[in-house]
Homo-oligomer: A and B are copies of this chain.
Amino acid sequence: MPNAATKPLFKIATELGVGFCLGYAEISFEGNVKHRYNTSILVDRAGKIAGKYRKVHVPGHREHEPERPFQHLEKRYFETGNLGFPVYQVDDVAVGMFICNDRRWPETWRVMGIRGAQLICGGFNTPTHSPPVPQHDHLTSFHHLLSMQAGAYQNGVWAAAAAKAGMEEGSMLLGYSCIVAPTGEIVALSSTVGDEVITAVCDLDRSSELRDHIFNFKMHRQPQHYGLIAQM
């Protein structure tokens, strides 16, 4: 990165002084071994790659399941990320990333919250139909926003999620790109499954409304009782 396809993006973002987060399918050689990761990068205002994340919570299944109208073979094509949940200083902001399904897991948010993230952002491709549990289809947007709002609130961080929305190969993907304040309040939300830009002014100092009080980690966390969470 940047490759031929993304160079124009880097170029115009740099000209405009806009940082961004970009997801892509990564091939990585570690020694002589080829690895495939579901990856995203942070690019700062100057167009420099400032951080990389590889998706930890790869969902789906490994083998073809003929009863499904469409496959969810993410576990077949991607390995579990091997970078943990890093937080990077990007243009003076401590930024962490999630990719799609990661946002549903409180561990994603907590590890980056402990590392002092001020903004946690990422992209998602979320089908509105779940073949194994179609009785939850109407809850797709609720579960997305619930996860984003809880993650932001429980860690006192700003959160932003960008949808790859709309119809793709017969599968409708959720919109609801959003920006969430450290209070858990949604401050910007897309309203279509087409191309949109949503924006918010994010006062990073607002994290302290949570992190100095109800979620003062130093005063109130009790890791001696959390061992089971990290147990292999």
Chain A interface residues (CB < 8 Å from chain B): 56-59, 75, 80-81, 84-85, 101, 104-107, 109-111, 114-115, 130, 132-133, 135-136, 139, 142-143, 146-147, 149-150, 153-154, 183-185, 209, 212-215, 219-232
Contact = CB atoms under 8 A, between A and B. Distances in A.
> For the complex, would chain A's binding face be called helix, strand, loop or mixed by DSSP majority?
helix
Contacts of A59: 214, 220
A209 B134 CA distance: 10
Nearest to A114: B228
Given A107-B226, A146-B153, A153-B143, A133 B220 contact: no
Given A135-B209, A147-B150, A153-B146, A230 B223 contact: yes
Contacts of A150: 106, 146-147, 149-150, 154
The 8 nearest A-B residue pairs measured at CB? A150-B150, A106-B106, A230-B230, A226-B230, A84-B225, A107-B226, A227-B230, A56-B222
Given A146-B149, A183-B136, A209-B135, A229 B154 contact: no
Contacts of A106: 106-107, 109-110, 150, 154
A224 B82 CA distance: 10
A136 B213 CA distance: 12
A213 B132 CA distance: 8
24 contacts: A56-B225, A57-B222, A75-B219, A80-B222, A101-B220, A106-B106, A106-B150, A106-B154, A107-B229, A110-B229, A114-B228, A114-B229, A132-B212, A133-B213, A136-B209, A142-B184, A143-B184, A146-B146, A146-B150, A146-B184, A223-B229, A224-B232, A229-B230, A230-B231
